[in-house]
Homo-oligomer: A and B are copies of this chain.
Amino acid sequence: MAGKRTGPNLSKIAEALGVSSATVSNALSGKGRVSADLVKKIRKKAGEMGYVPSRAGRALRTGRSGVLGLVLPDIGNPLFPQIAQAMERAAATNDYGVLIADSRDDVTTQTDAIGRLIERGVDGLIVIPRRGTRIGTVGCPVAMIDTPSTPGNTVSADHWQAGEQIARHLMELGHKNILLLGNDPASNVQNDRIGGMKAAFKRDISCQTLWLQPLLRKGGTAASLNLSERISQGVSAIATVSDLLALRVLTELQTAGFQVPTQVSVTGFDDLIFSPVISPALTTVRMNMSQIANIAVAALIDEINGNRDPKPKTSLQKKRTVPDTVMADTSRVPMELIIRSSTGPAPFDQTPHSNGETL
């Protein structure tokens, strides 16, 4: 049952119309080598017969699979749903399919995952790189979704600018002593976010940056952050690098008896699924995933088509001089600040001990 074509093929249509299958092919693909009348007639017939082109046949002939591969460092990433959804839509709009592969947060597995995709003949690759990974030349165009500061060819949200937005929002609320909280100091994205925040702070803002993961690695717990103490020392806002981290902080503060945002404001990044529904809802910043996906997919398709070898039938392919991963342009897409109730005015009796590192 599986497999074995059920519907008609090109020759069936050609037969039914008394024309050649070449003509049917040309008519259907709209390359314009067929008279308008014939095109219309063929299209009509194809519709009536319920013709569905065979991807396999086309793929074998053209050497293109019509499929893009999506590689994720860790599919468990809470942003993955948004990414996958956006990519699938962008691809489908361009008549491409999306094959997935996850790499379990492991460089070796990432290589495997890419290999599996390449073997399946994907025409291009979208990769959200594991931090620190450089994708070598893989034999097909690659678009990376990361940060503009990643060396290579990327489309991404403008994490830096988003950091600035968060920072300005907090400053406008009157916060002067702010704790910046990151998770992984090796992450480009997180560094950009923190960098943007720092850059936007004025001279009179006191801020300190903490990274959670190294602390945890050294056997510490989240408690080692001493949040309560810091707040009593004057911190009135905690700006984290992700909603997950913000949620962690928020619930910890609440458990410790603090009121958010009355006593402390908390911000996140990414607008994850839970962010709008928790109490208080998270002030955060959202990326326009579909825009990013559209750019990435468009860049890929451009390259798939544009860089085609001028003499496709020559047995010796001209050695490409441009690396496969070069995208037309490194694009950065602005993020959108979403103000919700986890941020509020700085408490009035704020005592700026200014014991943090000052910018």
Is the pair B78, A273 in contact by a Cβ cutoff of 8 Å? yes
Complexed CA–CA distance, A247 and B278 (Å): 7
Is the pair A102, B78 in contact by a Cβ cutoff of 8 Å? no
A75 to chain B: which residues have CB within 8 Å?
Answer: 81-82, 84-85, 88
Is the pair B1, A140 in contact by a Cβ cutoff of 8 Å? yes
Instruction: Let me know if A252 is at the binding interface, CB within 8 A.
Output: yes
A120 to chain B: which residues have CB within 8 Å?
Answer: 55, 66-67, 97
Is the pair B251, A317 in contact by a Cβ cutoff of 8 Å? no
Spot the interface stretch: A24-32, A56-64, A148-156, A199-207: A56-64
Given A54-B60, A98-B99, A320-B1, is A279 in contact with B251 using a C-beta cutoff of 8 Å?
A: yes
Is the pair B4, A309 in contact by a Cβ cutoff of 8 Å? yes
What's the interface size class on A, roughly?
35 or more
Select from chain B the residue with minimum beta-carbon distance to A280.
B255
Complexed CA–CA distance, A277 and B317 (Å): 53
Select from chain B the residue with minimum beta-carbon distance to A65.
B56
Is the pair B100, A84 in contact by a Cβ cutoff of 8 Å? yes
Give the oligomeric copy count: 2
Partner of A97, one of B62, B104, B116, B320: B116
Complexed CA–CA distance, A170 and B104 (Å): 35
Is the pair B63, A4 in contact by a Cβ cutoff of 8 Å? yes
Which of A1, A64, A65, A251 counts the most chain B CB atoms within 10 A?
A1
Instruction: Let me know if A333 is at the binding interface, CB within 8 A.
Output: no
Instruction: Let me know if A248 is at the binding interface, CB within 8 A.
Output: yes
A76 to chain B: which residues have CB within 8 Å?
Answer: 81-82, 85, 273
Q: A106-123 vs B: 1/0 string, CB under 8 Å?
A: 000000000011011101
A88 to chain B: which residues have CB within 8 Å?
Answer: 75, 100-102
Is the pair B2, A64 in contact by a Cβ cutoff of 8 Å? yes
Is the pair B123, A3 in contact by a Cβ cutoff of 8 Å? yes
Instruction: Let me know if A250 is at the binding interface, CB within 8 A.
Output: yes
Instruction: Let me know if A224 is at the binding interface, CB within 8 A.
Output: no
8 contacts between A and B (CB under 8 A): A52-B119, A57-B60, A66-B120, A75-B85, A75-B88, A81-B81, A247-B274, A248-B277
